[in-house]
Amino acid sequence: MIELNLILLGPPGAGKGTQAARLVDDFELPYFATGDILRAAVTDGSELGTVAKRHMDAGELVPDEVICGVVIERVDGPNARDGFVLDGFPRTIPQAEALEEAVSKLGRRLTAALLVEAPDAEVIRRLSGRRICSKNQHTYHVEFDPPKNEGFCDQDGSPLIQRDDDKPETIAKRLEVYHAQTTPLIEYYDTAGLLRRFDGTRLPTEVHDHIRATIATLRLESDL
């Protein structure tokens, strides 16, 4: 069986998290999200984690070389021998180049960059409709999964709130950042022949089936 070294791309609200969880279950791959990796490195007290913590405590962006180093530590770990799913990294062309170089030095290669796409209007519709129970964090959606009593949690009766990062104006700003950072990456991986596109507006099961079929094709091609 070939390795599955996968990168997940896509805007917030496109369904990357759902598809990542299914990929992890389907292929028994470790899932590495940049924020989780950095926090784990800090907790572990590794050399790179200590450097990352110094920048984070100062409210500074963690330098590319530190982020890349922390990610590569995980990619080269024993639980990632058969592959991995990366989410939130790379975010820039220099990070993508550093990842490619590091993976190549390990005698490995990236399998694909999976882009789950959704238009901005759909992303705003999905995220801005989310409501959270103020007491126990139960999640609802005003359109897709509304509570029985508007504004109140079905399970404990607590008021439902809209988080600040789910407000339309905040989502719009997040999308601006996403487009600025990710558009060059899409072109980068498309030029490299690694990009695979998926319609995130379809049902999650349909997106999952499409991704599985794509991976099956990639494996077949690698065996030829």
Just list the catalytic residues.
16, 91, 130, 163, 174
Q: How far apart are CA 37 and CA 120, in angstroms?
A: 28
Angle between helices 47-57 and 34-44 (to 10 degrees): 110
Helix axes 64-75, 34-44, angle to 10 degrees: 90
Rounded CA separation 37/153 (Å): 33
* Spatial distance between the Cα atoms of 20 and 6, rounded to a whole number of angstroms: 10
β-partners of residue 130 are 141
CA distances from 156 to 105, 137, 143, 151 (A): 53, 10, 20, 12
Tokens standing for residue 180:
């600025």
* Spatial contact of 198 and 207, defined as CB atoms under 8 Å apart: yes
Coil/strand/helix, residue 210:
helix
